Chain A
Amino acid sequence: MNSLPSEQNPTPESGAGAVGKPRAAVVIGGNRIPFARSGGSYAYSSNQDMLTAALDGLVARFGLQGDRIGEVAAGAVLKHSRDFNLTREAVLGSALAADTPAYDVQQACATGLETVIGLSNKIKLGQIESGIAGGVDSASDAPVAVSEGLRRVLLDFSRARTTSQKLAALRKLRPADLSPDAPSTAEPRTGLSMGEHQAITTARWNITRQAQDELSLASHVRMAEAYDRGFFDDLVTPFRGVSRDSNLRPDTSLSKLGSLKPVFGRNLADEATMTAGNSTPLTDGAAVVLLGSEEYARENNLPMLANVVDAEAAAVDFVHGKEGLLMAPVYAMPRLLQRNNMTFDDFDFFEIHEAFAGTVLASLAAWEDDDFCRKQLGLPGALGTVDRSKLNVNGSSLAAGHPFAATGARIVASLAKSLAEKGSGRGLISVCAAGGQGVVAILEAR
């Protein structure tokens, strides 16, 4: 048995809790490439191309050329098997020092936020001084796999030693095996797409079409305003001729959104309310965040936008419909607030990832529901109401689009900047993910 590190080396860096508060992990800044709708401007850019571009933009912004960073963590949800070391390969192709270590993370749409949490914890523990967290996804350059039948034939063929064994392997090939398998957004265990799952949750919580379209409109309007006032100038670096997120519709309106036909929930008994306007499209893009200790930031004359305070992950039993697929953040939130002795009133910004407008609105409704909070969350009453004027103030995924693994770093960088601009206060992040998972986190102004 290993003894506890704190017993061997009782320094403040060695752990939280008994010995003392760990040191701060600071968000220094972020960079992303504009997000582009799938099949558009980045149709021929790979995950590695986009992640490298996002890293190089960050390097340029903070003067990190040739620097060895403590560790780089990133990931992609739709990932080709050849990209097993995607992040390390992107680092090697970037202007960072070649001796910068890197690792890949995959937690579906929570990937980006999880990399921020993991590296922040290493910084807090004193294991690293600096880190770059992020994610990338391409729905355009998605891996297409050979069919299960062809895959088996090829594997058997490669294992065969004699000619007759090789022929026997090939004889098992059927014409249908030649059609490829494209990735889908269906949940493996239920076969329902994420949109169909959300349509059930949206209907269960009686979220109206009007409310969803209004949330979507607010996202577009706020993000367009944020671009116009230059908020994204030091958060986004143009790529492949794109300088703003291509999904952004500054001129959209409730009547335009209201004219769209529903795309999810059409098989339900209730009226279908989810459209392409109040659901995120498949998107390509990459985003990264530079994290560091206070010492690292000071020594390198780098800004300190916000502290990464704490985070919590949760998962729900969605397989047979006990809970909605994207409702896990609802369960993570009270655990995180309780541990930090906080309520919604302690926050100035709420960043709730808009996978679908229905996801955000169902989460808000659940936290306001006395009965649900008692029965499902084990609370004495409703968790509370999120002030809508503090919600996604610079727009979110409905406007920007949602390259799955990149979304977490987009949100962390934007929220950290909002906190730095305000100069005080706290921000709460909530990200839902496939597999019935969710991650929530707290950032604090410095």
Chain B
Amino acid sequence: MEQLLHAPPRLTALYAAALARSAKPGRSREAGSLRLPTDRHRLDGVTAVPEKVREFQHLMRSPQTAFLPSGYLHIVAFPVAVSVLARPDFPLPLLGMIHLRNEVQHLRPVPTDARLSVVAGVENLRPHRSGTQVDVVVEVEAAGVPVWTGRSTYLAKGIQASSTLSAPSTPAEPGRDEGLPAFPTGEWSLSADTGRRYAAVSGDYNPIHLGVPSARLLGMKRPIAHGMYLASRMVAEAGPGEDAGFRWTVEFRTPVPLPSKILLSAQVDRSDSAKWHGAEVVAWDPRRRRAHFVGRLEALG
């Protein structure tokens, strides 16, 4: 079923409601009781805010083109996705869920002033070694044509899905030095306000990203960078420099606490004629030599 939304959901209101709910104990999380809503939410007539797009491009150090960056389309679609996660019948707690993975196909260039439709739903509830994971699937259309699709995988820690579900297929805990490149190609100095600045352009004021006090509310010692901030910078850094026609995935291994300095290696595959074929990206904590995220980008055939 598709449920048509009449107005864009407000993220802060959704988070506030979720925060209030999470403070109240007693919501049953027994094994076997987890069932995903099958409704998909749809919102038509979505447009980007030009000033926010410009800010986003500054933040990601990407060129100011007349088309929406891949990471920004996630921002455009995100409130609709969160509205599904905030449904009373969604079985996992919205706040404190950890972003594990993202997969995006950016099919067509989307002009900054395009009127877009966003459809979001959840699927594929499955166990993870430390809880339960779920996919949020989002499609963005322009004039009825799909332009961008995204699949975000989130983890709810400590909540076990029913034992009738298939056994965990998640990879083992990444170890130190595992597959880290010998040399970095760059360093990102992420200041303490990185989360607040991304929140200001994305509207995603999830408390775990904002500051020490708000992160502590959710059991984190320090705030962490938005996964989509890291992913969007990765795409700006290693992407094709074109407005569409590529696919990218990112796997978040360990959170990036703020502030911090992380190293990154971006190996860009270009032919002799300078045509971009794709890129492999790894970012890591230089002191612990532990990967923060691993990404891959490739041209769509």
Which residues of A come within 8 Å of B, CB atoms? 176, 186, 189-193, 196, 200, 203-204, 267-270, 319-321
Binding site of B, secondary structure by majority: helix, strand, loop or mixed? strand
Contact indicator A203/B186 (Cβ below 8 Å): no
- State the Cβ distance, A48 to closest chain B Cβ, in Å: 31
Which of B27-35, B112-120, B144-152, B263-271 forms part of the interface with chain A? Answer: B263-271
Question: Quick one: CB contact mask for B167-206 with A, threshold 8 Å, 1 for yes?
Answer: 0000000000000001111111100010000000000000
Given contacts A176-B193, A268-B182, A269-B182, contact A321 B187 (CB under 8 A): no
Contact indicator B184/A267 (Cβ below 8 Å): yes
Of A190, A191, A200, chain B has the most CB atoms within 10 Å of the CB of A191
Contact of A196 among B182, B187, B238, B265 (CB under 8 A): B187
B286 CB within 8 Å of chain A: yes
The interface residues of chain A lying within 8 Å CB-to-CB of B263 are: 267
- State the Cβ distance, A322 to closest chain B Cβ, in Å: 8
- State the Cβ distance, B187 to closest chain A Cβ, in Å: 4
- State the Cβ distance, B282 to closest chain A Cβ, in Å: 12
Contact of A320 among B182, B185, B286 (CB under 8 A): B185
The interface residues of chain B lying within 8 Å CB-to-CB of A267 are: 184, 263, 286-287
Contact indicator A190/B183 (Cβ below 8 Å): no
- State the Cβ distance, B228 to closest chain A Cβ, in Å: 20
Binding site of A, secondary structure by majority: helix, strand, loop or mixed? loop
Contact indicator A203/B185 (Cβ below 8 Å): no
The interface residues of chain A lying within 8 Å CB-to-CB of B188 are: 191
Which residues of B come within 8 Å of A, CB atoms? 182-189, 193, 238, 263, 265-268, 279, 286-287
Given contacts A267-B286, A268-B182, A320-B238, contact A186 B187 (CB under 8 A): yes
The interface residues of chain B lying within 8 Å CB-to-CB of A319 are: 185
The interface residues of chain A lying within 8 Å CB-to-CB of B187 are: 186, 190-193, 196
- Write 13 A-B pairs (CB below 8 A) sorted by A numbering: A189-B186, A190-B185, A190-B186, A191-B187, A196-B187, A204-B183, A267-B184, A267-B263, A267-B286, A267-B287, A320-B238, A321-B265, A321-B266
The interface residues of chain A lying within 8 Å CB-to-CB of B266 are: 320-321
Contact of B189 among A189, A191, A200 (CB under 8 A): A191
Having A269-B182, A320-B185, one finds 10 other A-B pairs with CB under 8 Å, namely A186-B187, A191-B189, A192-B184, A196-B187, A267-B263, A267-B287, A319-B185, A320-B279, A321-B185, A321-B267
The 8 closest A-B pairs by CB, nearest first: A267-B286, A321-B185, A191-B187, A190-B186, A200-B183, A192-B187, A320-B268, A320-B185
Residue of A nearest to B189 (CB): A191
Contact indicator A191/B193 (Cβ below 8 Å): no
The interface residues of chain B lying within 8 Å CB-to-CB of A321 are: 183-185, 265-267
- State the Cβ distance, B230 to closest chain A Cβ, in Å: 14
Contact indicator A320/B189 (Cβ below 8 Å): no
- State the Cβ distance, A46 to closest chain B Cβ, in Å: 29
Bound state CA distance, A322 and B55, in angstroms? 30
Contact indicator B193/A200 (Cβ below 8 Å): no
The interface residues of chain B lying within 8 Å CB-to-CB of A269 are: 182
Of B184, B193, B287, chain A has the most CB atoms within 10 Å of the CB of B184
The interface residues of chain B lying within 8 Å CB-to-CB of A270 are: 182
Of A176, A186, A196, A320, chain B has the most CB atoms within 10 Å of the CB of A320
Bound state CA distance, A425 and B267, in angstroms? 45
Residue of A nearest to B266 (CB): A320
- State the Cβ distance, B289 to closest chain A Cβ, in Å: 8
- State the Cβ distance, A131 to closest chain B Cβ, in Å: 38
